[in-house]
A and B are shown apart, each in its own frame.
Chain A
């Protein structure tokens, strides 16, 4: 991550895109985001785990999409006009994440972020910190950790 920070310009450094899932605010660092698109037709792929909804076609790129709601263990809901796919740029590919609602860009300098609380609960694995925006709490997600091999192994449906 340090590597990435040094590459991008300063004004992106402390900015986070916050979004809602099941009423809670989460956020991705803005540097990792390629684009935000509305939900489009998703081609389901057999043998994908339940949270990986399938693949979409974004201007010729085939991009897998993951429903964060399902991944985080919340009940599935119908997609609405507010549902968005946030496309994250990984070094060699893109992955789209379905979220309930994109809210805004929050500026969170380092002093407003407290480290991940040490709870031995699996969801904290991909939490990089907890930000305070006024009275609101924003859970910061480390996108790199969302797609690690271990994560995928753990979330694999038991056969």
Chain B
């Protein structure tokens, strides 16, 4: 990441993580509001807040293009929020926001490249501006919106422009010297942030050095001499309010008010207060006293505490104010989310939300704010210890869990969790380490030196160790489990886009999206799911509603994504209630492509349907933007097989199609049965073993080609001699001396002949070294390898692959 200064990489990581989760949140809000076809004020505020955060953090990272785009969107929603215009063309609005969100996402991806060059967003920004302008002019009464709003709506008001607008006149200016935390880097951008935060509330504004936006060297000057701001607040705002905002800006360490001669008159300590808005139950009366209750409840937990209105104790009128504006608490606490829980548990509290940034404050709240501005200043007379970390990294994650728990609480009964985010690499390392421990445990407990010794206490301790190890393993695996809802939610977006393009009306329904799968598997699921959903949208659902109604189906199509657990596997079903697959058509096509190896009548429906996942197969005559190029379904199959899963298709002509994906819960540790063949040891995954037994002569049959079969309880299974398959030298070729293992996968079963069963063991799957892929090991039924307790290597067999050829 050459673009960023050294030492900022962790900040970049945090930035990328935060921004992408914010964008994901944005998508969800948009999907929801689009379905309901109306913007609630809460949604508008949320979008506004998301864009505001992205704008701020992008500017801080020096990513001006992203910051400006976010700013443009933010402005658009500012107009929507403030002026409440009638929005005639909602679709245009949604498309604009979606495209902006897509661009930002793409940009984040680009950031991960070494050679990052900022993309040009001007096209979309133009569109957004135009749309915002049309909103504004259509708003009628909105013409009288306050001047700051007008200044805001131009997307890239540079700080210089601000000065021109606000020619300094009169001498009642307040001068403030701002210093930033040492080593916070890019002081000029942080200074710009200060200016952006306060400019709305200032009638006049000037600062030194003036070229912070264009001259990167100005950061040095600021670091040495501080950043001087002269301002005169708007007439309805006290200057304390402004210094308060400055103090609250990220990374500001001190903010001193200077007198005429440059002497320090007053020092405003910088603090990062969390701002919480509390909403009480409707009609609960005496809100002021209830607010007092809340304050008393949390007083113990907070280092600093302020609230608006601040006269709740002695002014009954403040109840009305609370009803109108909500009750705002400013506080400092190490556990924001715990605090929120506490507030929520207070009687009559309907909800409490962390708002966290003072600069979001709408102008109509200015009256109580001046009261607030004094309050924290009183509350924190003692100079504060500097924040432990630079603010952008420290402040936001703290507020994050609470933000995230908010939508979750609304949907699912209010389960709150304390979350931390961990780098996936660390979890991978942890898993590797646990894998090593499992191997080492086996190495110790089945050490050849112990053979023939009677060690009761050792065995006892070893059992305890094994128990703890398997618990440890379960915990590590559970840490890596993530719900499928993330992958599912991405599909809403695809369905939405295709709905518009194809003109089909389709509902997307989720079932069991809380089912959890290993993180590494989820990453490989997105593409296959997307292909399948697209396929269902494009080919599955009928082209017109009339067609559907004629078949006796509701006009609106449904695509169902469901997931559930079943014996160590997760089953994901993508089902549509569309036209279904015509087996005749598939057969014709397969015949034309020369893919049939047997007479047509010998194919079962299931086999026919699964043909659509063979490479180079597409029944659709026309190629559309989304599907029909003959790639796709075979890619789906490959991707899912890559993570050890399998796909099958089921369909009823006229009623719909189902894609059934089976994936293992986890890739890395499997229960295996070790068998020996000559000097080699193979591991067969336990979940594909049905039974193992010694064959009796009466069970052995031969078909007309001389192929051997084993009869078990009236059913015949083909016999695969492992030593023949892999060209090994077995200890015995006599079928009655060896052991027969009945295995099954993908609805097929077969018997394997091995020399001997060695025992059951948990093994840690190691992928083949990349170079070995050149040797086609995977195509030959060897899924991976694993290291045994004695340090030797065993090969894990891929049963599905082996028996597919028989």
A-side residues, CB < 8 A to B, are 41, 43-49, 52, 55-57, 60, 62-64, 90, 92-95, 147, 149, 152
State in angstroms the CA–CA spacing of A48 and B787 once bound together.
Answer: 19
State in angstroms the CA–CA spacing of A93 and B768 once bound together.
Answer: 10
Name the distance in Å between A152's Cβ and chain B's nearest Cβ. Answer: 5
Within 8 A of A (CB), among B769-783: 769-772, 774-777, 780, 782
- Among residues of A, the one whose C-beta sits closest to the C-beta of B727 is A46
For B, the interface residue count at a CB cutoff of 8 angstroms equals: 27
Residues in B neighbouring A92, C-beta threshold 8 A:
770
Residues in B neighbouring A93, C-beta threshold 8 A:
769-771
Q: A60-B787, A62-B768 are in contact. Are A44 and B775 (CB under 8 A)?
A: no
Instruction: Contact check, B436 vs A60: say whether CB atoms are below 8 A apart.
Output: yes
Name the distance in Å between A51's Cβ and chain B's nearest Cβ. Answer: 11
Instruction: Contact check, B769 vs A47: say whether CB atoms are below 8 A apart.
Output: no
Q: A46-B782, A47-B776 are in contact. Are A56 and B793 (CB under 8 A)?
A: yes
B-side residues, CB < 8 A to A, are 436, 439, 679-680, 725-728, 766, 768-772, 774-777, 780, 782, 785, 787, 791-795
Most chain B beta carbons < 10 A, residue from A41, A60, A149 = A60
State in angstroms the CA–CA spacing of A43 and B792 once bound together.
Answer: 7
Name the distance in Å between B22's Cβ and chain A's nearest Cβ. Answer: 33
- Among residues of B, the one whose C-beta sits closest to the C-beta of A63 is B769
State in angstroms the CA–CA spacing of A1 and B48 once bound together.
Answer: 51
Name the distance in Å between B799's Cβ and chain A's nearest Cβ. Answer: 15
State in angstroms the CA–CA spacing of A63 and B774 once bound together.
Answer: 14
Residues in A neighbouring B776, C-beta threshold 8 A:
47
Q: A62-B793, A64-B769 are in contact. Are A149 and B774 (CB under 8 A)?
A: yes
State in angstroms the CA–CA spacing of A93 and B771 once bound together.
Answer: 7
Instruction: Contact check, A52 vs B770: say whether CB atoms are below 8 A apart.
Output: no
Instruction: Contact check, B771 vs A95: say whether CB atoms are below 8 A apart.
Output: yes
Instruction: Contact check, A152 vs B787: say whether CB atoms are below 8 A apart.
Output: no
Q: A62-B769, A64-B769, A94-B769 are in contact. Are A52 and B775 (CB under 8 A)?
A: yes
Residues in A neighbouring B780, C-beta threshold 8 A:
46-47
Most chain B beta carbons < 10 A, residue from A57, A63, A94 = A57
Name the distance in Å between A31's Cβ and chain B's nearest Cβ. Answer: 19
Name the distance in Å between B755's Cβ and chain A's nearest Cβ. Answer: 15
Picked from A43, A94, A147, the residue with its CB within 8 Å of the CB of B680 is: A43
> 9 A–B contact pairs at CB < 8 A?
A43-B785, A45-B777, A47-B726, A47-B775, A48-B775, A55-B772, A62-B768, A62-B787, A64-B769
- Among residues of B, the one whose C-beta sits closest to the C-beta of A48 is B775
State in angstroms the CA–CA spacing of A95 and B775 once bound together.
Answer: 14
State in angstroms the CA–CA spacing of A47 and B728 once bound together.
Answer: 10
Instruction: Contact check, A46 vs B766: say whether CB atoms are below 8 A apart.
Output: no
Name the distance in Å between A33's Cβ and chain B's nearest Cβ. Answer: 17
Residues in B neighbouring A94, C-beta threshold 8 A:
769
Instruction: Contact check, A57 vs B782: say whether CB atoms are below 8 A apart.
Output: no
Name the distance in Å between B111's Cβ and chain A's nearest Cβ. Answer: 23
Residues in A neighbouring B769, C-beta threshold 8 A:
55, 62-64, 93-95
Name the distance in Å between A34's Cβ and chain B's nearest Cβ. Answer: 13
Give me 17 other A-B pairs in contact (C-beta within 8 A), A47-B777, A48-B775, A60-B787 excluded: A43-B680, A43-B785, A43-B795, A44-B680, A45-B775, A45-B782, A45-B795, A46-B680, A46-B728, A46-B782, A46-B795, A55-B769, A62-B787, A64-B771, A90-B771, A92-B770, A95-B771
State in angstroms the CA–CA spacing of A52 and B679 once bound together.
Answer: 17
Name the distance in Å between A147's Cβ and chain B's nearest Cβ. Answer: 5
State in angstroms the CA–CA spacing of A63 and B793 once bound together.
Answer: 10
Instruction: Contact check, B766 vs A49: say whether CB atoms are below 8 A apart.
Output: no
Q: A57-B787, A57-B792, A63-B769 are in contact. Are A46 and B726 (CB under 8 A)?
A: yes
Most chain B beta carbons < 10 A, residue from A43, A52, A63 = A43
Residues in B neighbouring A44, C-beta threshold 8 A:
679-680
Name the distance in Å between B783's Cβ and chain A's nearest Cβ. Answer: 12
Instruction: Contact check, B766 vs A152: say whether CB atoms are below 8 A apart.
Output: no
Most chain A beta carbons < 10 A, residue from B436, B768, B774, B777 = B774
- Among residues of A, the one whose C-beta sits closest to the C-beta of B786 is A62
State in angstroms the CA–CA spacing of A49 and B780 once bound together.
Answer: 13
Q: A46-B727, A62-B766, A63-B769 are in contact. Are A152 and B774 (CB under 8 A)?
A: yes
- Among residues of A, the one whose C-beta sits closest to the C-beta of B784 is A62
Name the distance in Å between A137's Cβ and chain B's nearest Cβ. Answer: 30
Residues in B neighbouring A41, C-beta threshold 8 A:
791-792
Name the distance in Å between B729's Cβ and chain A's nearest Cβ. Answer: 11
State in angstroms the CA–CA spacing of A56 and B775 once bound together.
Answer: 16
Instruction: Contact check, A57 vs B793: say whether CB atoms are below 8 A apart.
Output: yes
Residues in B neighbouring A49, C-beta threshold 8 A:
775
Name the distance in Å between A53's Cβ and chain B's nearest Cβ. Answer: 12
Name the distance in Å between A26's Cβ and chain B's nearest Cβ. Answer: 20
Name the distance in Å between A2's Cβ and chain B's nearest Cβ. Answer: 18
State in angstroms the CA–CA spacing of A107 and B542 once bound together.
Answer: 74
Residues in B neighbouring A90, C-beta threshold 8 A:
771
Name the distance in Å between B656's Cβ and chain A's nearest Cβ. Answer: 42
Picked from B439, B679, B725, B793, the residue with its CB within 8 Å of the CB of A55 is: B793
